[in-house]
């Protein structure tokens, strides 16, 4: 499944209108967790900073597979869930 933000144009400098913390785990929260670990707000900011159109995802789960940090090192993620329940509340959900 494609994420909802894929249709958003990555070139424009889009700022979130509001922010809240995730209450329970979901596929979207899992991917946000991965982007935030790599130093980005979310997929939109990642695409803006890295000037990419696609983020590499696991075909089985749709979770993010690999991200490039701002210092150009790579983060590689498992196809299984990585965001544990105790980490969920730390994930920031941005509303555009």
Assess whether pLDDT exceeds 50 at residue 57.
yes
Assess whether pLDDT exceeds 50 at residue 29.
yes
pLDDT at position 8: 47
Give this prediction's pTM: 0.85
What average pLDDT does this structure show over 44-71?
96
How many other β-carbons are positioned within 10 Å of the β-carbon of residue 54?
A: 8
Residue 20 phi/psi, 5° resolution?
-145, 170
């Amino acid at each position: 499944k494609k994420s909802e933000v894929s249709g958003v144009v990555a070139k424009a400098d889009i700022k979130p209108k509001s922010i809240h913390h995730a209450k329970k785990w979901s596929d979207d929260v899992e991917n946000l967790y991965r982007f935030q670990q790599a130093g980005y707000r979310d997929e939109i900011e990642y695409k803006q900073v890295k000037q990419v159109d696609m983020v590499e995802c696991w075909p089985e789960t749709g979770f993010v597979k690999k991200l490039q940090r701002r210092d150009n090192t790579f983060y590689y993620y498992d196809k299984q869930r990585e965001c544990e329940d105790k980490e969920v509340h730390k994930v920031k959900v941005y509303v555009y």
